[in-house]
Amino acid sequence: MSWVAQDERLYILRWYASDEITNEEMASDLGMGLAEFYEACTEVGLRPRVDPEIYIPTPAEIERAAAEIRIGWDAETVEARLRPAVGGIFNEEEVT
């Protein structure tokens, strides 16, 4: 019999693969310390995941950064970036 309660097990299985929540947040939500959370993951049959030690921007941060880049574009660059690509799956005659 597992010492991990059914609701804790379901919570871990639901959020384990998500990038939206850290190990610390999951442990806190479950009322566990980090070491206990890692033990619970092992008990549920998962190996403790490692939070990446890199910065991952949010979609909103990416959009803001892209907008800042576009502000610096001149008219020629805007036209080039908005022009549909030629080649690929379409023949040039089909695009024009």
- How far is 83 from 77, CA to CA, in rounded Å? 10
- pLDDT value, residue 71: 93
- pLDDT value, residue 66: 93
Spans in the chain with pLDDT lower than 50: none
- pLDDT value, residue 89: 58
- Global pTM value: 0.51
3-state secondary structure of 54: coil
| Of the candidates 5, 16, 15, 25, the residue with the CA atom closest to the CA atom of residue 46 | 16
